[in-house]
Amino acid sequence: MGKLLTFSLLVAALAVLLGERIINLRRITLASRELVQNHLPNCVPIKGLVYGSEDITILPNGRALISTGLKVPGLPSFSDGPGKIFSIDLDDPRIKPVELRIARNFDVDSFNPHGISTFTDQSDDTIYLFVVNHPEGRSQVELFRFIEEENTLEHVKTITHELLYSVNDIVAVGVESFYATNDHYFLREPLRSLEPLLGLSWCSLVFHGPGDDVRVVSEGYGSANGINTSPDQRHVYAMDIVGHSVRVLERREDDSLISMKSVAVGSLCDNIEVEPRTGDLWLGCHPNGWKLFNNDPLDPAGSEVIRIQNILSEQPLVSQVYADDGSVLIGSSVAAPYGGKLLIGSVFHKALYCDLSQEI
């Protein structure tokens, strides 16, 4: 009788614990959130981008670079082929995506691009493109030279390191230097999928410099996702997607980071783009993560774009620029502005081009 009572109490305790964890998971995924439509009047789908556009970065001359075809465990993918990088000239009214040819001994068949970032070498104006790549589920960083006039990427090298084990996004700060986010702590299932359920905050930011300079520079993230820098590169912005916040960090001369504050955004935001002139942050967000992973075509995940102005001030202004219930765009992951225009990308769905000239 005593053993039966002990077993019954143990089962009851586990049931209570599991129930509490599920309630917490629904809370952090914003499972009960329903969107109010907030459409921009001047948005159209971009022809030719139908297999996702997970990350977008825009060069000063208006040339947008776009990673497409990402395959993520647990999320749908409508492409049977490898991922690709596209380019769009935003000063061309046709808004026509052009696939970039990848030259020089690179395995394009296993290419699975995630976060991207560019760096221009001021000594010779060479443009470098850094791409987070997940061939066969691994994490590595590909370094390319972007030959703009030829619409070509020349592969320079592949960067791997034991600290770069679950890389989501990257921001380049030198020819071979970057900060990267790890969005999980565990590498293998089932622990990897259990991290949100367990409420762990064990994810990190990593700095990779020339030579052997690779180190963790910030910890304590539920899931570190998008990352970028201020226009003067004195601050780093990192998204904790399950914490619904952007962490603001000060960059030191030795490339270490000091946490300054967190700014709540009220959504599961993914990538961060920074408007060079104003320093405003533009975030592509998932307003309901529960729907995103359930992937019910009758109740699709929505999309949201959030803008943060004056983030370094004592009172940053967080505002919603766009919201859709999934009827137009599913799973927005990035919002990239340029000269009164806005590109909104998604993890596995289409991309939008919006004219903001009359909106902001």
Q: Which amino acid makes up residue 99?
A: E
Cα 348 from Cα 128, distance rounded (Å) = 25
Which stretch of DSSP H or E encloses residue 341? strand 341-346
Residues facing 49 on adjacent strands: none
Structure tokens at 226: 């998008």
| Strand duo 101-103 + 152-159: pairing | parallel
Structure tokens at 250: 């000060």
- Classified as helix, coil or strand, 220 is strand
Of 39, 53, 72, the closest CA to residue 325 belongs to 39
Place of tokens 């993520």: 72
Torsion (CA) 272, 294, 35, 198 in degrees, nearest 10: -60
- Classified as helix, coil or strand, 192 is helix
Output phi, psi for 93, to 5 deg. -60, -15
Place of tokens 């556009």: 53
Of 287, 303, 297, 238, the closest CA to residue 53 belongs to 303
Length of the chain measured in residues: 360
Cβ atoms 72, 347 nearer than 8 A: yes
Residue tagged active-site, from 114, 184, 244, 286: 114
Radius of gyration of the chain (CA): 20
Cα 23 from Cα 20, distance rounded (Å) = 5
Structure tokens at 32: 């009960």
| Strand duo 268-274 + 281-286: pairing | antiparallel
- Please report the DSSP string for 244-269 in residue order: TEEEEEEEPTTS-EEEEEEEE-SSEE
184 is a catalytic site residue? no
Catalytic residues, by residue number, are: 114
